[in-house]
Amino acid sequence: MERDIAVPSRTREILEKHGFSFKKSLGQNFLIDTNILRNIVDFANLTEGSGAIEIGPGIGALTEQLAKKAEKVVAFEIDQRLLPILNETLAPYKHVEIIHQDILEAEVRSMIEEKMQGIKDIMVVANLPYYVTTPILMKLLTENLPVRGIVVMLQKEVADRIAARPGTKDYGSLSIAIQYYSEAEVVMTVPKTVFVPKPNVDSAVIRLTLRTKPPVQLTDEKFFFEVVRASFAQRRKTIYNNLVHNLAGKEKKEQVTLALEKANIEAKRRGETLSMEEFAQLSEVLKKYL
In terms of DSSP bridges, do strands 203-210 and 182-190 run parallel, antiparallel, or are they unpaired? antiparallel
202 is in an annotated binding site: no
Q: What is the Rg, in whole angstroms, of the alpha carbon atoms belonging to the chain?
A: 22
How far is Cα 108 from Cα 208, in angstroms, rounded to an integer? 18
Which amino acid is located at 202 in the chain? D
- Residue 259's nearest CA partner among 277, 285, 229, 239 is 285
Phi and psi torsions of 60, nearest 5°: 100, 15
How far is Cα 162 from Cα 151, in angstroms, rounded to an integer? 13
Give all strands (DSSP E) within 101-164, no chain letters.
Answer: 121-127, 149-155
Q: What is the residue-wise DSSP string for 207-259?
A: EEEEPSS-SS--S-HHHHHHHHHHHTSSTTSBHHHHHIIIII-GGGHHHHHHH
56 is in an annotated binding site: yes
258 is in an annotated binding site: no
Residue 266 DSSP SS3: coil
- Residue 7's nearest CA partner among 88, 89, 83 is 89
CA-angle at 44, arms to 43 and 45, nearest 5°: 90
| Residue-wise burial string across 75-90, b where 16 or more C-beta atoms lie within 10 A, e elsewhere | bbbbbeebeebbeebb
| Residue-wise burial string across 200-238, b where 16 or more C-beta atoms lie within 10 A, e elsewhere | eeebbbbbbebeeeeebebeeeebbbbbbbbbbeeeebb
264 is in an annotated binding site: no
31 is in an annotated binding site: yes
Residues marked as binding? 29, 31, 56, 77, 102, 127
Q: Summarize the annotated binding site for S-adenosyl-L-methionine as residue ranges.
A: 29, 31, 56, 77, 102, 127
